[in-house]
Structure 1
Amino acid sequence: MGNNILLIFGAVALFISSMLGLVYIPQMLADKEVNQVEYVAPNIENGHKIYVREGCVYCHTQQVRPKGFGADFERGWGEASLPEDYKGLTPHVLGTMRTGPDLANIGKRQPSRDWHYTHLYAPESVSPGSIMPPFPWLFEVVDEDEATSRKPINLPGEYAKEGKKVIPTEEAEHLVDYLLSLDQEREKE
């Protein structure tokens, strides 16, 4: 009987210490600022969903490593990523491979909306030698004389379509809004 009480007491003590060590103590030590949910504009949230759907995360990371842990800083990809850089959108798309450049700060490095549209439609037109696939389904190709309220993209000579204009769809606009929102620039302390 004495061994059973000792066994039960040991199991309860193990459970309580596990809960303290794995749940309550880390929760008390966690930075409360990081745990707050941040408002994300609907167009950026939709763009994030399109980014995930189109599989951009398979070739691009969104996590700049600190100085001394790779060549990210030398490549001009920005400051090292911090946990608060990933508030507001799920799933977090940190990525695991870098077939293409890191996009954590692409909104700061490449702030041109037109550049992003052109890059999505014909990547090699703005990045010679790029192996990124084009995303033509994010655009409409219409006759040049067709009236539209949306602005067509300016494609370089060989990528332009004779008598046609290429217009970003709403999905392309949202994806570009999301890419332009990727800016981890922080104020210097």
Structure 2
Amino acid sequence: MNRLVPLGILALAILAFATLMLVIAPAVQIRGMTATPGLKPYTEQQMRGRAQYVSQGCVYCHSQQPRSVDQAPDAERGWGRASVASDYVNDRPHQLGTMRTGPDLFNVGARLPSRDWHLTHLYQPRAIFDWSIMPGYPYLFELKARAAPGDVVISLPSQYRPDTGVVVARPEALDLVAYLQGLDHSYPVPPTAVRDDGYSEPGEPR
């Protein structure tokens, strides 16, 4: 019985310390944080596309958090600079991701700016990479006998084209691609920026 009291005190102390370090301290650190200079707010279409990104579960296979050079060769992979906390000011909820079955998408709009590329890739990834294991999203598209004015027709290799008619993008596909095109964080960050992994930028105290 006498041991229960110190054990209880120790457990509460550990809980208080964890709460301080993992909840309170980060909240104080980011309170009042403003967007990184150069970060553009999402347009209405990009916000709709972001909702599609969330609903389609893209976060389960793609991250949006390139690591620093001392942690991973993400920059060598062409994924861009290491992300910082203020890059995510406009994100509710954030889509950092924990898996990289596919490449990081933090800068996909900078390295792959083509709308046609993204639409083809969404409809049938193997039309671009025959080794891809990414699922296609044909329900974001529509098969029509002929394109109507304003329709965006998807460019497909012969083996993936329908026997008759054309494949056109639904608004949901166009919105999702607009969001992906907007993922461009190639602007520089201030030297005092806080990296999302808890470290400061090079030259700042850690």
Q: TM-score range by the shorter chain?
A: 0.7 to 0.9
What SS does structure 2 have at the residue aligned with 1:175?
helix
- Counterpart code for 1:104: F
Contact kept in structure 2, 1:62 and 1:104, CA below 8 Å: yes
**CA–CA distance in structure 2, aligned partners of residues 122 and 25 of structure 1:** 41
Task: Output the TM-score relative to the length of structure 1.
Answer: 0.79
Letter of the 2:134 partner, please give it.
M
State the Cα distance separating 1:44 from its structure 2 match.
0.7
- 2:149 & 2:186 partners in 1: Cα distance? 36
Pick closer, same or farther for the CA change 1:28–1:152 going to 2, 3 Å: closer
Unaligned runs of at least 5 residues, structure 1: 1-17
Tell me which of 76, 81, 84 is aligned to 1:82: 84
Q: Deviations over 1:84-130 (max 9, x none)?
A: 21121211000000000000000001000000000000001112200
Equivalent residue, structure 2, for 1:9: none
Runs of 4+ with deviation above 4 angstroms? 22-26, 28-31
Q: TM-score, normalised by structure 2?
A: 0.73
Match of 1:42 in 2: 44
Q: Do the aligned residues in 2 keep the contact of 1:125 with 1:156 (CA within 8 Å)? A: yes
SS of aligned partner of 2:142 = strand
CA distance in 2, matches of 1:45, 1:132: 23
Q: Which runs of 5+ in 2 are unaligned?
A: 1-18, 191-206
Distance 1:50 1:109, change over 3 A: same
One-letter amino acid of the counterpart of residue 153, structure 2: P
Which structure features the higher share of helix residues?
Answer: 1
Provide the C-alpha distance between the structure 2 equivalents of 1:188 and 1:94, rounded to a whole number of angstroms.
18
Letter matched to residue 84 of structure 2: L
When residues 111 and 154 of structure 1 are mapped into structure 2, their CA distance, relative to the original with a 3 A threshold, is same
Residue 178 of structure 2: aligned partner: 177
How far 1:151 sits from its partner (Å)?
2.1
For residues 39-72 of structure 1, give each alpha carbon's deviation from its aligned partner in whole angstroms, at most 9, with x where no partner exists.
Answer: 4311111111100100100000000000121121
| Aligned CA-pair RMSD | 2.7
Contact 1:59 1:100 in 2 (8 A): yes
